[in-house]
Structure 1
């Protein structure tokens, strides 16, 4: 394989470093096999590189596709989103993507904590304890211990749901700003 093509593949691999090793290796192998096929058909290395385009843009397409193909939350995907927005997404991505992805996680975790707090407060009430550190205040209204559990369930579920919605919005935004992979 030509030095130009090897350099190109190294750049692709560098831009995809936030991906899991197995996915990154598969992508590099796919591009390499495409390059070899074209080279065997008599296409010059410079022409192959020209057809594939800028390695950063090609890596961006692969990374965006990998992030947006599955909307399930994972910490690895969260890290990939930050890598995507810092490397590829431009000014809007650098501001919007970290904001909505972090907010989505905060809402999901907050929803779970609210639900746990409601259960702990209610259990404490049933055992005769008032856990003062766990409260809900909505203006002048503070729920009684009997109202606390249902209110915390509603608030917790709404917060968790909002977090999931923001996560899906993050994935859709990445899919929308990702260029499509080039076909050679």
Structure 2
């Protein structure tokens, strides 16, 4: 039997799960309720169970994270931006780290493509594309591609490292949120097949 304290906890959890579809909200609340009832049936005080579950807001984030991870393939730009949006709201560090890494990854990636294209186009004699090593030191037209390849590779390398860092950070956050979930069956049920 759930006490008023447990009922209040479940009500808060339900409220914080507002962004999930109704059936998933109810499933999550029922699962936590059964976890509380099972613990109480084993002689554990409800207050201890609730303390172990932690803040209902954080638990709701864990459930939302599981849903996002289960529905996002991390292969498309839209999928990554969905996760970026979720994790930017997940904590102060994420608000700083995720946007910086995303801007570096996509910005430098786009720039590396432009550098290669500029090198190819300039090699064929397009004079409106400027390539300078230093003030007053213009790269000869015939050397445009030879300069564009290593510069584009360096910029592309920064993009790749930033992309890998972003994926690693998002995966780390997901793992931490998964650890908050109290029931292992919930974790396996929500993981993508």
Q: What is the TM-score when the length of structure 1 is the normalising length? A: 0.62
Match of 1:147 in 2: 146
Name the CA distance, whole Å, in 2 between partners of 1:98 and 1:140: 41
Deviation at 1:16, TM superposition (A): 4.0
Deviation at 1:163, TM superposition (A): 1.5
Whether the 8 Å CA contact 2:13–2:56 is kept in 1: the answer is yes
- Residues 165 and 58 (structure 1 numbering): CA distance in 2 closer, same or farther, change over 3 Å? same
After superposition, what is the alpha-carbon deviation per residue over 1:107-166, rounded to whole angstroms, capped at 9, x for unaligned? 22123222221233124224421344x647589987541223312431233022112222
Match of 2:80 in 1: 74
After superposition, what is the alpha-carbon deviation per residue over 1:72-93, rounded to whole angstroms, capped at 9, x for unaligned? 36111111101211xxxxxxxx
Name the CA distance, whole Å, in 2 between partners of 1:149 and 1:67: 39
Name the CA distance, whole Å, in 2 between partners of 1:153 and 1:38: 57
Superposition RMSD in Å: 4.3
Name the CA distance, whole Å, in 1 between partners of 2:134 and 2:69: 38
Whether the 8 Å CA contact 2:109–2:160 is kept in 1: the answer is no
Map 1:94-113 onto structure 2 (within 5 A): 94=92, 96-113=93-110
What secondary structure is seen at the aligned counterpart in 2 of 1:182?
Answer: coil
Name the CA distance, whole Å, in 1 between partners of 2:133 and 2:103: 20
How many residue pairs get matched? Answer: 168
Match of 1:128 in 2: 125
1:31 aligned to 2:29? yes
1:61 aligned to 2:62? yes
Structure 2: segments with no counterpart, 5+ residues: 185-193
Match of 1:115 in 2: 112
Tell me whether 25-34 or 107-116 shows the greater mean CA deviation: 25-34
Structure 1: segments with no counterpart, 5+ residues: 86-93
Deviation at 1:64, TM superposition (A): 5.0
After superposition, what is the alpha-carbon deviation per residue over 1:12-53, rounded to whole angstroms, capped at 9, x for unaligned? 244345x6x45x7525423325536977xx97xxx7787354
